């Protein structure tokens, strides 16, 4: 497929109505080429999470279009969106979202089970991914037996199981200490190169920003290219938004 892997055009998204409406996204447009790691930066409440959910088909914009790997996400029905999320777009969140009763290998293999991948191929792919994230020796351990950083590595491996074209990560190091967070950020950089995925990562961390190919800055729902942004968490006492 030629052209950008992600194409966003004139996207707007608001919550509420009238004078109390919150304009999370305002006429947002950008393209992301294949195999690119993009850092999405902005203060809490600037619209980062809203943009990620719209790009990934978890939410619909009020207007505008989103195309991912050639598919017009904004025109897909529920079945089409399910297919998109099953095979084209994968997510990594702060909360890991692992199934407690399953081992690391079984968690990574869940998307492949849903896709009815043959057992030998599923086992091969799971082993490759656990090795990729540095957890080849932890395949049989359950989430409760792993550290937070290891759990996030399992979550990243699971997100890659179905060979997605696009990886979306929302503050993937938000619950990790600085050293572990650095390792996860370096891992995401390596994953983009090893798997050839396109990654859109919301982050406040300057290290992730430095590792990115591009930086998009969002402020009050407006997105601009900003390779020199110096992002910080809200100052003490500054209210944090939820968009």
Please report whether residue 196 resides in a domain.
no
CB atoms within 10 A of CB 10: 12
Check residue 243 and give its pLDDT: 53
Question: Is the model's pLDDT at 231 over the cut of 70?
Answer: no
Could you tell me the two tokens for 235? 């100052």
Residue 187's pLDDT band (boundaries 50, 70, 90)?
confident
Please report whether residue 123 resides in a domain.
yes
Please report whether residue 29 resides in a domain.
no
Please report whether residue 129 resides in a domain.
yes
Please report whether residue 145 resides in a domain.
yes
* Comparison of pLDDT for 116 and 17, the residue scoring more: 116
Q: How many domains does the chain have?
A: 1
Instruction: Work out the average pLDDT over 203-223.
Output: 90
Measured in degrees and rounded to the nearest 5, phi and psi for residue 219 equal: -145, 120
What is the DSSP track for 20-34?
G-EEEEEEEEEEE-T
Please report whether residue 228 resides in a domain.
no
Mean pLDDT of the chain: 89
**203 CB-side CA count, 13 A:** 29
CA distance 109 to 10: 37
For residue 191, give the nearest of 211, 221, 175, 214 by alpha carbon.
Answer: 211
Measured in degrees and rounded to the nearest 5, phi and psi for residue 236 equal: -55, 130
pLDDT digits (tens, 9 = 90+) for 91-112: 998 888 899 999 999 999 999 9
- Asked whether 74 and 6 are in contact (CB, 8 A), the reply is no
Alpha helices (H) along 77-236: 78-87, 104-114, 119-132, 148-160, 178-195, 206-211
Check residue 232 and give its pLDDT: 42
Please report whether residue 115 resides in a domain.
yes
For residue 202, give the nearest of 55, 85, 48 by alpha carbon.
Answer: 48
Please report whether residue 94 resides in a domain.
no
- Asked whether 95 and 174 are in contact (CB, 8 A), the reply is no
Check residue 228 and give its pLDDT: 58
Helix (H) or strand (E) holding 170: strand 166-170
Beta bridge partners of 224: 217
113 lies in which domain range?
100-162
Could you tell me the two tokens for 110? 């869940």
């Amino acid at each position: 497929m030629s052209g950008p892997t992600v194409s966003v055009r004139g996207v707007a998204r608001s919550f509420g109505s009238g004078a109390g409406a919150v304009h999370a996204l305002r006429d947002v447009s950008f393209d992301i080429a294949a195999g690119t790691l993009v850092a999405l930066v902005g203060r809490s409440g600037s619209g980062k999470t809203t943009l990620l959910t719209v790009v990934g088909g978890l939410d619909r914009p009020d207007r505008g279009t989103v195309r991912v790997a050639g598919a017009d996400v904004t025109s897909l029905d529920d079945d089409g969106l399910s297919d998109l999320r099953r095979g084209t777009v994968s997510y990594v969140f702060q909360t890991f979202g692992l199934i407690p009763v399953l081992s690391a290998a079984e968690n990574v293999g869940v998307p492949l089970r849903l896709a009815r991948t043959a057992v030998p191929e599923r086992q091969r792919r799971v082993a490759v991914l656990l090795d990729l994230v540095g957890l080849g020796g932890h395949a049989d351990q359950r989430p409760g037996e792993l550290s937070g950083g290891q759990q996030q590595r399992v979550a990243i491996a699971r997100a890659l199981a179905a060979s997605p074209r696009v990886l979306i990560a929302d503050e993937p190091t938000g619950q990790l200490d600085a050293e572990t967070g650095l390792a996860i950020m370096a891992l995401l950089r390596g994953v983009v190169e090893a798997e050839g995925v396109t990654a859109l990562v919301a982050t406040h961390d300057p290290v992730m920003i430095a590792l990115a190919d591009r930086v998009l800055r969002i402020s009050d729902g407006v997105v601009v290219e900003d390779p020199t942004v110096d992002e910080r968490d809200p100052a003490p006492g500054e209210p944090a938004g939820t968009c």
